[in-house]
Structure 1
Amino acid sequence: MSITIPNLGSFPRTRLRRPRRDDWSRRLLAENTLTAADLIWPVFVIEGRSARQAVDSLPGVDRLSIDLLVEAAKEAFDLGIPAIALFPCVDPALKTPDAAEAANPDNLVCRTVQALKKALPDMGVICDVALDPFNSDGHDGLVRDGQILNDESVEVLCRQALVQAQAGCDVVAPSDMMDGRVAALRDTLDANDLDRVQICSYAAKYASAYYGPFRDALGSGGALKGDKKTYQMNPANSDEALREVALDIEEGADMIMVKPGLPYLDIIHRVKTTFGVPTLAYQVSGEYAMLKGAIDRGWLKGDLAIEETLMAFKRAGADAVLTYFAVEMAKMLKAR
């Protein structure tokens, strides 16, 4: 039996392609995995019954009335999606400078929460805490003489979160970026025997150009006067995000959100490695619209592009991702 003795200096001993050759090996050695349990589905609710409105700037995304939203949520839950994030499209007649409708216990959000928890008690319901759906100025806080008020806004946000929690939501998610609101929310919830309700703080929310389609869906963009740069973060800043996160953790946040997503993977990574707390990312409307547009035109292969994008969040350190692709991605994962 002859044995070939190679020239040991003629080829590399370490071949990184070797474990990539077979599918089983690639799956076995994958450093990150994506499952339906990693996804949170953002949804838009409207008044009416059997009502569905397409969002032109978010192809494939519809505003749904409560009854249709409950049915859609059932499908999402059956696919393994553990939670939805609820955003209301409020009647313009109910939008006022004091955002009073936000604290109405019979508002659209509270009625939707009650319907969802009755139909799906085991599905997580996350409620946005911010005033832009209810504020005639389109801002996340109250406005006086062109200035966004901090402490006065926090008082209204606490009343808003309280009625949401009393309606049965599992998580309140302040996205307003007012200073001190996490501590105020925690104190308010605890004082009203709602200590079970979690807080997911949008701790690092940037003044981004990627929110346009969301504002179209919500109906707040046209009313917006000025910009949100005095309370949302400067996209140039990274260290500031860590200060914001540290404060919100100290104030009692259970989870941290970074928003937007893909342009801020470095922030997600820094937050996760620095604090080790549950860290969420939001693949925002502008990100979705760009990717969806390229997929619909055939420029990108949809299933691969969506999964690769969502995997990037996991690789950066996100524990979960809010994405309008949640149901589509869950279906693809289930079909495998």
Structure 2
Amino acid sequence: MQRFRRLRKNETIRSMMRETRLHPADLIYPIFVIEGENIKNPVNSMPGVYQYSVDRLNEIMDKVKESGISGVLLFGIPACKDEMGTQAYAKDGITQRAVTYIKKNYPDIYCIVDVCLCEYTSHGHCGVVRDGQIINDETLPLLCRMSVSLAEAGADMIAPSDMMDGRVEAIRDALDLNGFEGIPIMAYSAKFVSAYYGPFRDAAHSAPGFGDRKSYQMDFANGQEAIREIASDIEEGADVVMVKPGLAYLDVLKEAALTFEMPLAVYNVSGEYSMVKAAAANGWIDERRIVTENLTAMKRAGAKIIITYHALDMAEWLEEERRK
């Protein structure tokens, strides 16, 4: 009889045998930047998460720098929205100014920018709308303009989350033509329609004004389609591919890791975060243990990059463990 328990006898041997280890460098922290001055608005559905104006970004960026995590993922909230989302690609747009501020004051922190129109459009959809339909090909030039403007502002990586077909190739061509061949693309490749996004839409003011996003985001029942989406983005030139959300899609993440020799990211999304926070606040779970288990599962499934609102807490807990 094999006795597996021999290698579980105490913490020393368990640590020696541990197959998967989290590190602060695995983590990316999402930040919401809002137009205005002297703003630090709490996101009520996401305890501990805030919207920051550029002049108060230092309050969170100092914590990011101290934490040792790899970087941030920016989402912008403009003061004015219109049907074409023009503030998404304005040179003086909120996200462009936030990127410039971060790269000037925190040059060693990797700055990833989300590319999508939903936060900037009056209708809240991720693309151009005509007669109640989201128009794919007419959206691509706007995503390209947004990507180039953010690269010009100093972004380290472009992360398109819109789920329009062909956007990775279009953005890659636009970046290359404008002298940004060295800027990588992290594609939200397998992004599913999900109820787990609810709190994010409060934070980013990005709920659709009509209908839903089922015509462009993926049906959550489809695993093989996700693999085809990832393969397509790789062929189009993506440098990193993502599965979003995380917990309910670990099977997709694992299959992608086994199928593609590519860096994989996973987004531990707002609803996953808020459920943990709510349960912990009620004393129903041990927050630290649950978060550690969840993020370890994502890394074990194959993620090289974990985007999570728990990033700063997790980095602190890892440092405490290291010092023991």
TM-score range, shorter chain: over 0.9
User: In 2, are the aligned partners of 1:203 and 1:241 still within 8 Å (CA)?
Assistant: yes
Deviations 1:247-280 (A, max 9, x none): 1101110000110100000010111110020000
Which of 167, 171, 189 pairs up with 1:185? 171
- 2:50 aligns with 62
Instruction: State whether structure 2 residue 41 is matched by structure 1 residue 53.
Output: yes
> What whole-Å deviation, never above 9, does each CA across 1:185-212 have from its counterpart, x for those lacking one?
0000000111111100000000111111
Provide the aligned C-alpha RMSD in A. Answer: 1.0
Q: Which moved more, 1:55-64 or 1:161-170?
A: 55-64
CA positional deviation for 1:47: 2.4
CA contact under 8 A between 2:148 and 2:175: conserved in structure 1? yes
Describe the superposition over 1:273-312 as per-residue Cα deviations: whole angstroms up to 9, x where unpaired: 1002000000111111111100111100111111001001
Deviation at 1:315, TM superposition (A): 1.0
- Check conservation: 2:73, 2:112, Cα contact below 8 A: yes
Q: Identify the residue that residue 101 of structure 2 maps to in structure 1.
A: 115
Q: 2:77 aligns with which of 65, 68, 89?
A: 89
Distance of 2:24 and 2:277 partners within structure 1: 19
Q: Select which of 161, 185, 189 maps to 2:147.
A: 161
Q: Which of 240, 256, 270 is residue 255 of structure 2 equivalent to?
A: 270
Please say which structure displays the higher CA radius of gyration: 1
Q: 2:134 pairs with 148, 168, 178, which one?
A: 148
Report what 1:42 is aligned to: 30
Match of 2:236 in 1: 251
Q: What corresponds to 2:200 in structure 1? A: 214
Q: What CA distance in whole angstroms lies between the structure 1 residues aligned with 2:121 and 2:38?
A: 27
Question: Quick check: 155-164 or 58-67, which moved more?
Answer: 58-67
Stretches of structure 1 that go unaligned for 5 or more consecutive residues are: 1-11
TM-score when scaled to structure 2?
Answer: 0.97
State the Cα distance separating 1:64 from its structure 2 match.
1.2
Secondary structure of the structure 1 residue equivalent to 2:4: coil
Residue in structure 2 matched with residue 205 of structure 1 by the alignment: 191
User: Which amino acid letter does the alignment assign opposite residue 108 of structure 2?
Assistant: D
Aligned to 2:20: 32
Q: Which amino acid aligns with 1:196?
A: G
Post-superposition Cα deviations, 1:107-144, rounded to whole Å, max 9, x if no partner, equal 00000000000011111111111000111110111111
Report the residue type matching 2:261 in the other structure.
G
Provide, for residues 18-60 of structure 1, a one-character-per-residue CA deviation record: whole Å limited to 9, x for no partner.
1111111111110100011111001111123332100111111
CA distance in structure 2 between the partners assigned to 1:267 and 1:183 by the alignment: 23
- Are residues 1:18 and 2:6 paired? yes
TM-score by length of 1: 0.94
Residue 104 (1) aligns with residue 125 (2): no
- CA–CA separation in structure 2 for the residues paired with 1:57 and 1:143: 29
Shift of 1:102: 1.0
Q: Distance in 2 between matches of 1:155 and 1:50?
A: 34
Secondary structure at 1:264's aligned position in 2?
helix
1:75 shift after superposition: 1.9
